Amino acid sequence: MNGRRLTRWLIVTGGVTFCLLSGLLSESVARPTRSHQRQTVRQRVPLPRRTAPIQSLPHPSQLASAEFPPLPSSQTFAEVLLLDADTGQILFSQNSNKLWPTASLAKMMVALLTLEQVESGRVALYTPIIISRRASRAGGRMINLRPGEVFPLSDLLRAMIVTSANDAAVAIAEQLYGSVENCVKAMNRRARELRMTQTLYQTPNGLPLTDGTPPDISTAIDMATLARALVKHRQILEWTSLRAVPFRDGRVMLPNTNHLVGKVTGVDGLKTGFTYKARFNLVTTAQRDQLRLIAVVMGGQSSGIRFRIAADLLEWGFAHFTRLRLIKSGEPVGAEVRVEYGSVSMLQPVAATDAAFLVRKGEAGDVQVSLQVPSVVAAPITRHQVLGEVVVRNSKRILAIVPALSPWDVPKARWFPAQR
């Protein structure tokens, strides 16, 4: 009897011990598995929704060996583009011809038309603008303009381009063209002149219309083309480079919607845009030394993502490219030419145009310049007469051919050839 009890006690004790040991062993194996699962879930999150601090952006030295800019998943944006503002040379693009709603990027065209009219003398920045009822009810992001109020054009233009005021855009459109509809016609006409072939405007401010009309449509490449024209007007950059601008005689400070200003070196513009359909758009520009770049992000998944992508594009561009200025218009191109039968015996040709190129850093030494002119030219010679040409090439192709001109008139000698 005692033996049976002892046997049952040993069996129960052994089972309990086995269960406890099994539980401990299974927990020790399961913990790393659960930890690994948590890490996998974190990796699946593409990007944080909130704006990433600029300190988390890659430093240019970290991008120095990259062949392509660091971009998040293509599902986080619709299209991106990076180009050189001076030449229009595209440094990087992805889906840059995809049709996409402009949202408030449409205001860039209103700004361009306004400054062109200012330069032509048709209107002045101090021109007073009376706010209409239609402007005061524009909707969306507004600066609370009231019917009958009067503001100088400069105040409304600054508010429109810096803080994206929809009511200011309508007021400017009505002042310049008599109505919003006429302004939209002028916007589309100027777009065609700039060869923005994929752009169609419906409004001066990019707000969706409630009558079922399709929204303002464009592409990243067209928006970059518009930005190239706009940055030639220094007044815009003086405004868009500020973190905030004054309004109502300084009683109100309007914040800049471009959060890269003051955070990314050299950024001094340009325009943001948002609607639920367009998501988050951005056209931004920065200059460092002699190089100005324009970055375009269309359809960002969040506001933070558009700024992060644009900042990465700019940093990558500045880290990998440099402007090489070889020839300046009007400056001597090198060798002298002997003049026969002229009032002078020697002549040094000058360049007809500038010759500046965007090259990858480290490849500047591959560029060669050669002057092709005859050794002797007979008088008479007229000012700006083509004497030859300057050929710029690298190991792969000819980059440019610049005419070499006579800097002045050289009449034929009346009595005897010039001494040699």
What pLDDT is recorded for position 343? 87
3-state secondary structure of 200: strand
Q: What is the C-alpha separation between 26 and 23, in angstroms, rounded?
A: 5
| Cβ neighbours, 10 Å, residue 316 | 26
pLDDT one-digit tens code per residue, 119-161 = 999 999 999 999 999 999 999 999 999 999 999 999 999 999 9
Residue 135 · residue 151 · CB < 8 Å: no
Tell me which residue of 359, 178, 365, 156 sits closest to 254, measured CA to CA. Answer: 156
36: confidence class by pLDDT, cuts 50, 70, 90: very low
Report whether pLDDT(49) > 90: no
Average pLDDT, the chain: 85
Report whether pLDDT(375) > 90: no
Q: What is the C-alpha separation between 175 and 416, in angstroms, rounded?
A: 68
Report whether pLDDT(33) > 50: no
Q: What is the C-alpha separation between 178 and 81, in angstroms, rounded?
A: 35
The mean pLDDT value for 282-301 works out to 97
The mean pLDDT value for 235-257 works out to 97
Residue % of the chain over a pLDDT of 90: 64
pLDDT one-digit tens code per residue, 332-370 = 988 889 999 888 888 899 999 888 888 888 877 788 888
What pLDDT is recorded for position 3? 52
Report whether pLDDT(39) > 70: no
Q: What is the DSSP string of 373-408?
A: --SEEESPB-TT-EEEEEEEE-SSSEEEEEEEE-SS
The mean pLDDT value for 213-223 works out to 97
The reported pTM is 0.76
C-alpha distance from residue 337 to each of 2, 227, 373, 377 (Å): 127, 43, 8, 7
Q: What is the C-alpha separation between 186 and 30, in angstroms, rounded?
A: 68
8: confidence class by pLDDT, cuts 50, 70, 90: low
Report whether pLDDT(282) > 90: yes
pLDDT one-digit tens code per residue, 76-88 = 999 999 999 998 9
pLDDT one-digit tens code per residue, 162-178 = 999 999 999 999 999 99
pLDDT one-digit tens code per residue, 62-74 = 443 447 888 888 8
Max mean pLDDT range (35-49, 360-374, 382-396):
382-396
Report whether pLDDT(56) > 50: no
Q: Sign of dihedral through CA atoms 302, 83, 207, 162?
A: positive
For tokens 């375009």, what's the residue? 296
